[in-house]
Amino acid sequence: MNAPTSRPLSPHISIYRWQPHMIVSILHRATGAALTVAGLAVLTWWLIAIAAGGSTHADFVTAVTSIPGTIVLVGLTWSFIQHLLSGLRHLVLDMGAGYELKTNRFWAMMTMAVSAFATALIWAMIKGVL
């Protein structure tokens, strides 16, 4: 057996402190996957329910207005807004702006805060609270 070498190792996640821009980057990927899988599933179910009409559509409406259905729809709404804002942030970064540490941290936190606020605002309007 070979003796272990003392080569440098690649940086590992334990070396880094979690930063807002890291979380937003991971959320961008996760929300994209959620929108693809869950969003397309709900959209397909809705289109089939509309095409079938009658009781099938009533079953769909009953399912999405239930508590678990509402949780899924709220999650999809948040995923869409978070993914949109994060995509806009990445577009600005791709143009070469916003790499300064304070600026990057600020806009990363703003994408999370604005997506949560916008989701709450949209669902407050849907539920008739506003």
Check: CB of residue 98 under 8 Å from CB of residue 89. yes
Q: Tell me how crowded residue 35 is: count the other CB atoms within 10 A of its CB.
A: 17
Task: Tell me how far apart the 2 most distant CA atoms of the chain are, in Å.
Answer: 72
Say if residues 115 and 35 touch (Cβ distance below 8 Å): no
Q: Any binding-site annotation on 21?
A: no
Q: List binding-site positions.
A: 83
Which residues are part of a known binding site for heme? 83
